[in-house]
Amino acid sequence: MTLLQPEADRRQNEISDLAFSYLATALQEETGIVLTAVKRELVVSRLSRRLRALDLPDFDAYCDLLAGPDGAVELNEMLLLLTTNVTRFFREPHHLERLRQDILPDLINKARAGERVRIWSAGCSSGEEAYSLAMILLDLCPEARSMDIRILATDIDRNVIEAAKRGLYRFDEHELLADPLIQKYTTPTEAGAFQVNPDVKSIVKFACLNLQKPWPMNGKFDVIFCRNVVIYFAAQTQQHLWPRFANALHEGGHLMIGHSERITGAACAYFKPVGTTHYQLVSRGNAP
């Protein structure tokens, strides 16, 4: 015997073309992320729980809420549910090897001379990338905590930022044993759970930041990691973002992007490729 789904549940799990278009436009305008039609089921899956929590009958009513006077608050909740947070420790190791071998030695010498060194993990998700960078840095320079060398890690999702600050992760035994730095710089807390050590956490600062909005940082960065982030943005948004990264870097600074991402268009005048998805700033030109 087949049980019919209650009408209210059915409506909360279906989305009209108009409602999907409205939500996709709202997400792109706020974050630059593009929702294509293939993401329709994902939108329903992630947002239907909000409809139930708010006691709304369908997605049309949810759109009305977003368009109303209290829409800004709910928009933020929607962003947290629709943004993707996928990461892991020591991801894309070719970048990290270049960092260790070719970039950090000079930056460490710069810091030892009393100068300021900054690395930015943009779109850091739950913090694994930023902590990986910190572990490599401390492995090369144990006294880094006493120098003016720090890692800024930002993400639009406040929930993953709070998780990143805690620095508590789960590894399977194979993953833990596969990387000696994870063993060296984390402490087991319970079966399968490990806490990032305080010396690693001390050189990383986490903050919420929407890449589409103004950036509050005044100083320049020596290295920026923004990997597997802009792939979710429209081409126009990407073309606007590359010059902003150029303006945020020191001359000769490095930009690392995701394996499926490439700098294209006018921004090619600012950067030269020096490795796989690894670019170096050669000129800011008229970057905003």
Q: Which of 46, 88, 91, 100 is catalytic?
A: 46
Whether 214 and 260 map to the same domain: the answer is yes
The closest of 9, 81, 109, 19 to 52, measured between CA atoms, is 9
Angle, CA of 33, 37 and 43, to the nearest 5°: 65
Judge if 110 and 249 occupy the same domain: yes
pLDDT greater than 70 at residue 5? no
Rounded mean pLDDT, 165-184: 79
Domain extent at residue 23: 7-82
Catalytic residue among 58, 98, 155, 157: 155
Does position 207 have pLDDT exceeding 50, yes or no? yes
CATH of the domain at 26: 1.10.155.10
Q: Stretch 199-222: mean pLDDT, rounded?
A: 95
Domain assignment present for residue 48? The answer is yes
Residue 281's pLDDT band (cuts 50, 70, 90): very high
Residue 41 lies in a domain: yes
124 and 200 fall within a common domain:
yes
**pLDDT tens for each residue of 62-101:** 999 999 888 888 887 888 788 766 678 888 889 999 999 9
**Whether residue 155 lies in the annotated active site:** yes
150 is catalytic: no
Give yes or no: residues 66 and 119 share one domain: no
Evaluate if residue 143 carries a pLDDT over 80. yes
Helix, strand and coil in the chain, % to nearest 5: 50, 20, 30
Tokens linked to 233: 């943005």
Element (H, E) at 90: none
Is position 174 within any domain? Answer: no
Q: Total structural domains in the chain?
A: 2
CATH number, domain with residue 152: 3.40.50.150
Q: How confident is the model at residue 49 (pLDDT cuts 50, 70, 90)?
A: confident
Q: Indicate whether 138 and 250 sit together in one domain.
A: yes
